[in-house]
Amino acid sequence: MSGLRLILLPFSLVYGLIIKLRNLFYDKGWFKSHSFDLPIIAVGNLEAGGAGKTPMIEYLIRLLGDKKKIATISRGYGRRTKGMIIADGTSTAEQIGDEPMQFKQKFSAVSVIASENRVKAINAIKAEHQVILLDDAFQHRKVKAGFTILLLDYNRIGERSFMLPAGNMREGKTEMKRADVIVVTKAPKIFSPLDQRIVEAKIRPYFDKEIFYSYISYGELKLLHPKENVKEYQLSDINRKTEIILLTGIAKTRPLLDFLELKTKKITHLHYSDHYKFGLKDVAKLAEVYNANSSLQKVIITTEKDAMRLLSPSLQQEVEQLPIHYIPIKAEICDRFKQDFDNKILNYVG
């Protein structure tokens, strides 16, 4: 354990005690949870960020979108506004948060709401919707969701972990029992039954219901600001001679780096903290790194979530001068689990 973690450990013990008491009060009914008469699916995790909540919400939208009128409700982490905001075509990440912005950009027929008070938000929109998806809501116990999906990162299961602030855990593993299903995210697309048994041996002491597995699927590169005179790179254009300038402000970058490193090892990574608010100095640094690179094969790549923040009106003039590409991602349920998972969701909302 590092020195900083040792210093923070007493605060983690206090935090962990507070969380245990809070959960106990909800379990006993001393704190009120609100139930609603329509299907509500909550997606969340035990750690602070990086388990794949946004791709899972998008998976559910794709699964249900042509069957039900859907609304997503997120806190809108990192936004500069407060209260309830229903996203429209003019909304920005600064107003609603980067993840809700991503939902609205990709799924125009879905109602996207940013609100700290999810009970108030549900009451405001429930009459016009048939399904509500709660983003990052495993710890939000004021709403009693009808179906809860808990996400666990395949690469971190079994790791020794500490509660915040010494570690990344928002709740202890014993709280897995509150979920209806667990989805192990970022798994290999194909893995053996032995690998599955090894993973589940670490989960089963805390959870006795169904466990599913998902993997990340990367889409084709897209120019953030397409222009006629700017080359739009395809993934097939990237080879061992290509220089990538990678810009990220997400919690866990390893899967993306692993994917890009299959194509080239020449990656300059400008890495910022999760939900980082890019400013003019950051864009200037990106431009400096890009222009200083003398390679004839060079491309700027960022994540889809980071692209939402780079679309800020305050950055538009500078960002438009750079050939920034973003790479979409999807969560896909691994083949041998997909039919059962989809049916479970469809049966619940049906």
DSSP label at residue 312:
-
Q: Which domains does the chain have, with CATH numbers?
A: 3-68+130-216+332-349 (3.40.50), 220-327 (3.40.50)
Q: How many helices (H) and strands (E) does the chain have?
A: 11, 14
Q: How many other C-beta atoms lie within 10 A of the C-beta of residue 115? A: 22
Mean pLDDT of the chain: 95
Gap between the Cα atoms of 221 and 326, Å rounded: 6
Position 3 pLDDT exceeds 80:
no
pLDDT band at 6 (very low <50, low <70, confident <90, very high): confident
Position 1 pLDDT exceeds 80:
no
Gap between the Cα atoms of 283 and 302, Å rounded: 12
Is residue 244 within 8 Å of 267, Cβ to Cβ? Answer: yes
Q: What percent of the chain has pLDDT over 90?
A: 89
Q: How many other C-beta atoms lie within 10 A of the C-beta of residue 97? A: 29
Sheet architecture: strand order including 243-248? 222-223, 324-327, 298-303, 243-248, 267-271
pLDDT band at 26 (very low <50, low <70, confident <90, very high): very high
CA dist 291 to 110, 287, 296, Å?
A: 40, 6, 11
The mean pLDDT value for 200-224 works out to 97
pLDDT band at 229 (very low <50, low <70, confident <90, very high): confident
What is the structure's pLDDT at 49?
77
Gap between the Cα atoms of 52 and 4, Å rounded: 27
DSSP label at residue 102:
H
pLDDT band at 2 (very low <50, low <70, confident <90, very high): low
What is the structure's pLDDT at 228?
86
Gap between the Cα atoms of 128 and 112, Å rounded: 13
Q: Give per-residue pLDDT as tens, 29-74.
A: 999 999 999 999 999 999 987 889 999 999 999 999 888 999 999 9
